[in-house]
């Protein structure tokens, strides 16, 4: 089987990510989305785009610099990809601000939630804001006049800054006509005014508006000719030299501060920025016109993310819900007894993440528990789970934490937890250099009736209580001897030394997961060629690995019916006659972030179902330590099919269907509306 590399069979990864962000932006565009949630989706789009520029666009620029003629699997050079990406990104950002200014802000104003523009402040509002400036802002602002003794400052990644054009001479006779004011990150970007001053219940003013109005106070005796906000996005990928690395944590700690000052990749300025100032800023950051984004409004909409939480209007937000509990746990609070009675499947966030926290808490408190082992990829800066692990170590239990220090943007939090765990007496290891530990595993060893028994938790998502309320994931609690032995073997690999061997049940990257997925796809292909019914259904965050895509194309040509539910980027092109006419690709975007990884193969009616921590991407198969696990209990297998796959194939409200050219079209609604996430909330959340 030949591996497809031509541009007519694979879609560019960066363009695919932008198409995902287009679908996120569509949630803000949808009038059926509650109003404050529309604002939140605008902020989520901004946050996604920040990371896109920090990592993906930064990577393209590095490729242009180092190897400009190399072509990727999609047939594009980095320069060609960047030009295409810049065109789409400018289009999306323009649409975002159009929505913000013409749709969302006016609709909020109709609900008495107003963002007060400085050109519309009445005298009372102007007085309050002036006092706020002198009392709260001016003491922490440092204006920097630009002259030979004051070069252009090295501004922080994604920080809010103001470029000021001046005339006149200062106290020393200097006549520099430019200055920069950096807004400290500790300052809020949106300030709420008292209702009696605002003239409405919720009146907000942008920090940028306050600084614009009073920037002259920072330059006494000078005339302010112009003031514009700007923001620069920098390359935020960290470089760790694996060959020279002696202590990963120390090297990473030394590298983290540089994230704020990497090479510039994007400049955002207000649309009132003069051509002269725009060119000046582009020169300072070594950027071209394609890197410039002029916007009408705040240059950092991410900082508006807090506004919906500061507005007490439940009618303008998604209906809150309380996660439910599986019946087995509702009946039996002792988790070890409950798990011993049968495997337990948790479907987050429709069902509570609390049992996972309780699993570690009970293990930490139980005198019969001897050892706890857990992987830590993302867990947050304030993690109850980590505190229970620390408490277990302090009680003298053998605690082993495999902490992934290279979890992007969580490096600092993970370093802090690693240090605290070590101080408590836990064994802390950082996995294997060159391979991120992305597997989601926890193992407890308990003495029962004079013998040792293992219990484990395996998941598709992180041990992060906050994201567990927002991300859809499955978690399995089991004491199945073979599965627990496999989990134990993975921990032995990560903490010690030894050759890889085949697990009884568990799939593991970088060893067995890719071969087994390829084998399962080929098995369906052979069954279809033999005239049998054959089907594959896979749900994941991203599909990029070329050999898997080639195998899926071959399966389609053999007659295998393939349904792919891919939330984000998908490099495969569906629906092309003679290549992929039997493949359908859909993406579901709703109030919750779809995060499951589920792989279903009909296998002659046996219906093999796997849950995994891995997407079908090169990095997950070959450069990460990942795990996939089968559903052995028939009832739980049926639950995964009925909860994790079928509703998403039926969804005609939040589903988007991928076209052969890589574009997505919202699925047309036929018959009764069906929203998969709403259905699962009704099925699994606690009844109120």
Determine whether 438 is an active site residue: yes
Q: Taking the C-alpha atoms of 129, 131, 132 and 137 in order, what is their torsion angle to the nearest 10 degrees?
A: 120
Residue pair 559/498 in contact by the 8 Å Cβ criterion: no
The tokens 């927002």 sit on which residue?
A: 470
Long-range contacts (CB closer than 8 Å, 24 or more residues apart) made by 88-92: 88/15, 88/18, 89/18, 89/49, 89/52, 89/57, 89/293, 90/293, 92/18, 92/21, 92/22, 92/25, 92/45, 92/49
- Residue 277: exposed, middle, or buried by beta-carbon count in 10 A (0-12, 13-18, 19+)? buried
Tallying the residues shown for the chain, one arrives at: 688
Q: Is the peptide bond before 290 cis (omega within 30 degrees of 0)?
A: no
d(CA 682, CA 643): 12
Q: Which of 348, 438, 457, 464 is catalytic?
A: 438
Number of Cβ atoms within 10 Å of the Cβ of 526: 13
- Taking the CA atoms of 662, 668, 673 and 674 in sequence, report the sign of the dihedral they define: negative
**Residue 538: both structure tokens together:** 């896979």
d(CA 374, CA 439): 10
3-state secondary structure of 687: coil
Question: What is the DSSP code (8-state) at residue 71?
Answer: B
- Residue 595: exposed, middle, or buried by beta-carbon count in 10 A (0-12, 13-18, 19+)? buried
For the chain, state the CA radius of gyration.
27
Query: Known catalytic residues?
Result: 438
């Amino acid at each position: 089987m030949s591996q497809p590399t031509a541009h007519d069979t694979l879609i560019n990864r960066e363009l695919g990510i932008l198409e995902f962000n287009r679908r996120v932006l569509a949630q803000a565009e949808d009038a059926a989305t509650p109003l404050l949630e529309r604002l939140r989706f605008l902020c989520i789009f901004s946050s996604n785009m920040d990371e896109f520029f920090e990592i993906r666009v930064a990577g393209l620029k590095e490729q242009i610099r180092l190897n400009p003629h190399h072509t990727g699997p999609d047939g594009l050079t980095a320069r060609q990809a960047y030009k295409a990406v810049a065109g789409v990104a400018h289009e999306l950002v323009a649409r975002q601000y159009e929505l913000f200014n013409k749709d969302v802000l006016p609709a909020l104003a109709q609900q008495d939630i107003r963002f007060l523009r400085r050109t519309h402040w009445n005298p009372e509002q102007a007085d309050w804001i002036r006092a706020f400036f002198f009392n709260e802002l001016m003491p922490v602002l440092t204006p920097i006049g630009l002259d030979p003794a004051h070069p252009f400052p090295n501004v922080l990644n994604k920080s809010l800054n103001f470029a000021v054009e001046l005339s006149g001479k200062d106290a020393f006779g200097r006549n520099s006509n430019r200055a920069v004011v950096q807004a400290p990150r500790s300052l809020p970007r949106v300030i709420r005014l008292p209702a009696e001053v605002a003239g409405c219940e919720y009146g907000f003013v942008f920090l940028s508006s306050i600084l614009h109005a009073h920037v002259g106070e920072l330059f006494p005796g000078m005339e302010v000719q112009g003031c514009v906000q700007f923001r620069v996005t920098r390359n935020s990928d960290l470089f760790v030299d694996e060959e020279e690395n002696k202590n990963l944590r120390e090297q990473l700690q030394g590298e983290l501060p540089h994230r704020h000052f990497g090479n510039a990749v994007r400049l955002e300025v207000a649309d009132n920025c003069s051509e002269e100032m725009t060119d000046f800023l582009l020169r300072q950051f070594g950027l071209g016109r394609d890197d410039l984004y002029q916007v009408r409004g705040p240059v950092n909409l991410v900082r508006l993310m807090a506004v919906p939480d500061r507005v007490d209007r439940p009618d303008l937000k998604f209906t809150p819900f309380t996660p439910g509990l599986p019946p087995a746990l509702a009946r039996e609070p002792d988790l070890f007894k409950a798990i011993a009675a049968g495997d337990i499947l948790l479907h987050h966030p429709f069902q509570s993440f609390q049992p996972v926290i309780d699993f570690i808490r009970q293990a930490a408190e139980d005198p019969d528990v001897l050892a706890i082992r857990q992987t830590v990829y993302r867990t947050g800066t304030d993690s109850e789970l980590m505190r229970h692990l620390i408490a277990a170590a302090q009680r003298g239990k053998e605690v082993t934490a495999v902490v992934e220090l290279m979890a992007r943007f969580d490096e600092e939090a993970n370093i802090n937890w690693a240090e605290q765990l070590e101080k408590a007496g836990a064994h802390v290891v950082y996995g294997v250099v060159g391979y991120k530990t992305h597997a989601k595993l926890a193992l407890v060893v308990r003495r029962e009736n004079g013998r040792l028994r293992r219990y484990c938790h395996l998941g598709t998502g992180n041990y992060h209580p906050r994201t567990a309320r927002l991300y859809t994931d499955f978690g399995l609690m089991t004491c199945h001897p073979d599965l627990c032995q496999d989990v134990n073997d993975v921990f032995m690999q990560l903490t010690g030394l030894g050759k890889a061997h085949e697990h009884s049940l568990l799939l593991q990257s970088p060893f067995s997961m890719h071969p087994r997925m390829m084998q399962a796809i080929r098995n369906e292909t052979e069954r279809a060629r033999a005239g049998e019914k054959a089907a594959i259904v896979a749900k994941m965050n991203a599909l990029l690995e070329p050999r898997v895509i080639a195998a899926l194309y071959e399966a389609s040509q053999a007659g295998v019916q393939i349904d792919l539910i891919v939330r984000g980027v998908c490099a495969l092109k569906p629906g092309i006659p003679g290549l992929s006419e039997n493949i359908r690709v859909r993406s579901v975007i709703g109030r919750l972030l779809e995060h499951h990884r589920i792989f279903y193969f009909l296998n002659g009616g046996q219906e093999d179902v796997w849950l995994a921590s891995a997407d079908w991407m090169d990095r997950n198969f070959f450069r990460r330590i990942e795990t996939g696990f089968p559903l052995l209990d028939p009832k739980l297998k049926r639950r995964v099919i009925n909860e994790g796959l079928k509703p998403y194939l039926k969804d005609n409200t939040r589903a988007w269907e991928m076209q052969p050219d890589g574009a997505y079209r919202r699925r047309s609604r036929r018959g009764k509306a069906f929203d998969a996430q709403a259905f699962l909330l009704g099925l699994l959340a606690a009844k109120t």
